[in-house]
Amino acid sequence: MSRRTRPDLNTAMRGLIHEIRAQVPFDTPESSLCRGPCRGCSKKLLEFLDTELEEWEGRLEEGEVPRFGDLARLGRLARKVVAALRRNGLIASA
């Protein structure tokens, strides 16, 4: 029975960033973001998440190695933003 190898933390963080960028609609026009009542400002949430992703992309380029807690934190943040975007009707429910 072969053991499945896990990616190193750097590769895992890059993969997580790629997955978040693929699933979150960062390119949504501002006119679609602010159309009626919302629970949490979608525009600000998208900007915040994008800033976090850009920060980690820069840190990875500089050679910083993330810790497991960094992966968990970024994943949790992305899940919360996606949940808010679903509540606001910007992402279809799964």
> Each residue's pLDDT tens digit in the chain (94 positions)?
556 777 799 999 999 999 999 999 988 887 777 766 677 788 899 999 999 999 999 999 999 999 999 999 999 999 999 998 888 888 877 6
- Domains identified in the chain, total number: 1
**Is position 30 within any domain?**
no
Which residues in 29-40 are b (16+ Cβ under 10 Å) and which e? Answer: eeeebeeeebee
Q: How many helices and strands, by DSSP H and E, does the chain display?
A: 4, 0
Residue 55 belongs to domain spanning: 9-14+41-94
**Is position 54 within any domain?**
yes
Q: State residue 39's pLDDT score.
A: 73
**Is position 85 within any domain?**
yes
**Is position 72 within any domain?**
yes
Q: State residue 72's pLDDT score.
A: 97
Specify whether the CB–CB gap between 86 and 93 falls below 8 A.
yes
Q: In residues, how long is the chain?
A: 94
Report CA torsion sign: 71, 72, 74, 75.
positive
Both structure tokens of 20: 């978040």
